[in-house]
Amino acid sequence: MPYIAPDVASKIREAKALARSNRSKRNVIVLIGYLLGVGGAIIWNFVAPNSPPNPGDKVFLGMIVGPGAAFVFLRFFESRYIAALARCPKCGYSWEIKEGRGVPHSEVMEYWDKCPGCSVLMGDEVLTLSLTPQSIESIVGKAKPD
């Protein structure tokens, strides 16, 4: 197993946790946009039931306006809610998690075994092994009497 210093391994773990946290914050804001859009459409249906003849049009409009407002909100106020971006502790390569159908697997941080910028290993299993204290018996194997 390649050697990773424990301090670097802990920083890598923190950066990966930050990337996951940032993705969760963005997804929660978009979910709130969807819920507010659909909730607004339902309230609109109770307040003015005959404004567009079809109640499905209101829900469809709410499902467009709500997430659209959430994306605009993220565009302008993202730095307020997401203070630090996840970056490689060695080279500074961005580890922010990209999502969507058009994003190739090579650009999704969760599929990486090593950093594309500096090739430092970043798999969870490797980090766990480098952070746990190793003994000679666990590396070589304990001799069992016959």
Determine the straight-line distance between the first and last CA of the chain, rounded to whole angstroms.
Answer: 30
pLDDT tens figures, 67-90 = 999 999 999 998 888 878 889 888
| Residue 29, pLDDT above cutoff 90 | yes
Stronger pLDDT, 124 or 74, i.e. the higher one: 74
Place of tokens 């709500």: 66
| pLDDT attached to residue 131 | 75
Which of 16-20, 49-53, 115-119 has the least mean pLDDT?
A: 49-53
Alpha carbon dihedral 45, 48, 49, 55, in 10-degree steps, equals -40
